[in-house]
């Protein structure tokens, strides 16, 4: 990678870069820690990591599982995302994942351990959760209290992102099809830390996230996101000569689609034609499936508000958090979630 490739990175992102040496069977990271005496003010430490297998691949990178074979973290596992720097503006992803690796966001986001470069690729080292993404658990509709708990946790993460000027643009539970069948973004999107009924999930992958300037509406330049969860304003429905803009509300749409899927085991719009009719031709929202699965009136209302065809009518993250559906806790753990 050319030396000037870091010119667009912030000082904080540069500080998270890991000194790395490459060998045939492993890579070596070199760290420096503070000691406890004048003679040990600056202690050099080394870790050796070895690739185990590929976890997933998509349009914005490939993710590998690695094991520490020597050093303080010996036998520990991590996920490492490889991005071809010439194919993707990796600085956005580094900016986001490092921002939200601060301890106060750790309950909402997969944490980053640092990043490094090898040849023309950037590697991002992250937490590994062997339970994988949420999608693999959605083989049937979830009980409403469980879906509500997951929805709240993802919404809390989105609120943090939005108040810091970020739009995720690809919120979803995971990949609904074999990854080799279609070209989707990073396979691990919403990761499961603890499975139900006491769900604990974290937002992963900032591959197409973008930081917005205060008071500025971002103009869409190409189709992004994942079909089934992407807001209509992010899709190429209109003429290429017509600029389509978006705000944080695109994430609220995706959250609504995700809640719909968890409650019904289907997405609200299986094809783009139906989505177009709803977004631009005033056809009604497909609430029949929610009613069929006995979703409460408050739950149906919550999802329909998030998935309003008019982006300006969708609630913000703070407003959504105060909706009655998220406040009607059924268990003490739900109440604890609301009091965090």
Residue 247 — pLDDT band, cuts 50, 70, 90? confident
- pTM as predicted: 0.83
Between the alpha carbon of residue 38 and those of residues 34, 41, 43, 256, 311, the distances in Å are 10, 5, 11, 57, 60
182: in domain: yes
292: in domain: yes
User: What integer pLDDT is reported at residue 58 of this predicted model?
Assistant: 67
User: What integer pLDDT is reported at residue 220 of this predicted model?
Assistant: 41
Cβ-based neighbour number of residue 144 at 10 Å:
20
pLDDT, tens digit (0-9, with 9 covering 90-100), for 100-139: 999 999 999 999 999 999 998 999 999 999 998 898 899 9
300: in domain: yes
Query: Residue 294 sits in which domain range?
Result: 134-338
Highest average pLDDT, of 71-85, 86-100, 210-224, comes from 71-85
More confident residue, 339 or 143: 143
Average pLDDT of the segment spanning 184-210: 74
User: What integer pLDDT is reported at residue 187 of this predicted model?
Assistant: 39
User: What integer pLDDT is reported at residue 92 of this predicted model?
Assistant: 79
CATH number at residue 288: 1.10.510.10
Cβ-based neighbour number of residue 65 at 10 Å:
16
Residue at token pair 């010439």: 86
Q: What is the 3-state secondary structure (H, E, C) of the chain?
A: CCHHHHCCCCHHHHHCECEEEECCCCEEEEEEECCCCHHHCCEEEEEEEEEEEEEEEECCEEEEEEEEEECCCCCCEEEEEEEECCCCCHHHHHHHHHHCCCHHHCCCECCEEEEEEECCEEEEEECCCCCCEHHHHCCCCCCHHHHHHHHHHHHHHHHHHHHCCEECCCCCCCCCCCCCCCCCCCCCCEEEEECCCCCEEEECCCCCCEECCCCCCEEECCCCCCCCCCCHHHCCCCCCCCCEEECCHHHHHHHHHHHHHHHHCCCCCCCHHHHHHHHHCCCCCCCHHHHHCCCCHHHHHHHHHHCCCCHHHCCCHHHHHCCHHHHCCCCHHHHHHHCC
Residue 282 — pLDDT band, cuts 50, 70, 90? confident
pLDDT at 208 over 70: no
21: in domain: no
More confident residue, 162 or 56: 162
12: in domain: no
pLDDT at 186 over 90: no
How many domains, the chain?
A: 1
Task: Identify the CA nearest to 99 among candidates 216, 230, 210.
Answer: 210
108: in domain: no
User: What integer pLDDT is reported at residue 281 of this predicted model?
Assistant: 84
User: What integer pLDDT is reported at residue 224 of this predicted model?
Assistant: 45
| Contact by Cβ (8 Å): 293, 141 | yes
User: What integer pLDDT is reported at residue 177 of this predicted model?
Assistant: 42
User: CA 43: distance to chain centroid?
Assistant: 35
To the nearest whole number, what is the mean pLDDT of the chain?
82
145: in domain: yes
**How open is the CA angle 310-312-318, to the nearest 5 degrees?**
125
Average pLDDT of the segment spanning 192-209: 84
Between the alpha carbon of residue 186 and those of residues 66, 81, 100, 174, 209, the distances in Å are 17, 9, 18, 9, 12
Tokens standing for residue 19? 């000194």
1: in domain: no
């Amino acid at each position: 990678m050319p030396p000037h490739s870091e010119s667009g990175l912030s000082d904080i992102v540069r500080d998270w870069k890991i000194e790395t040496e490459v060998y045939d069977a492993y890579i070596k990271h070199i760290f420096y820690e503070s000691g406890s005496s004048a003679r040990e003010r600056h202690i050099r430490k080394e870790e050796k990591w070895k690739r185990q297998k590929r976890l997933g691949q998509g349009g914005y990178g490939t993710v590998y599982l690695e094991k520490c074979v020597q050093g303080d973290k010996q036998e520990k596992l991590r996920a490492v995302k490889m991005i071809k720097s010439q194919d993707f503006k990796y600085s956005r992803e580094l900016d986001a994942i490092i921002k939200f690796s601060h301890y106060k966001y750790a309950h909402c986001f997969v944490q980053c351990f640092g990043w490094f470069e090898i040849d023309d690729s950037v590697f991002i080292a992250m937490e590994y959760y062997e339970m994988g993404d949420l999608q693999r658990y959605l083989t049937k509709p979830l009980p409403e209290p469980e879906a509500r708990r997951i929805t709240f946790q993802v919404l809390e993460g989105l609120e943090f992102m939005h108040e810091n000027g970020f739009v995720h643009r690809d919120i979803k539970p995971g990949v609904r099809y074999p990854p080799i069948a279609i070209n989707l973004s990073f396979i691990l999107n919403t990761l499961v830390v603890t499975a139900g009924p006491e769900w604990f999930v974290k937002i992963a992958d900032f591959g197409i996230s973008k930081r917005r300037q205060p008071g500025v509406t971002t103009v869409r330049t190409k189709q992004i996101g994942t079909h089934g969860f992407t807001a209509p304003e992010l899709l190429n429905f209109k003429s290429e000569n017509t600029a389509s803009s978006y705000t944080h509300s695109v994430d609220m749409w995706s959250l609504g689609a995700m809640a719909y899927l968890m409650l019904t085991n289907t997405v609200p719009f299986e094809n783009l034609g139906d989505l177009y009719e709803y977004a631009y031709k005033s056809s009604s929202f497909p609430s029949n499936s929610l009613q069929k699965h006995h979703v409460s009136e408050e739950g149906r209302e919550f999802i329909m508000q998030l998935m309003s065809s008019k982006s300006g009518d969708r609630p913000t993250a703070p407003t959504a958090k105060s909706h009655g559906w998220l406040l009607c806790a059924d268990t003490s753990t739900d109440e604890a979630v609301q009091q965090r």
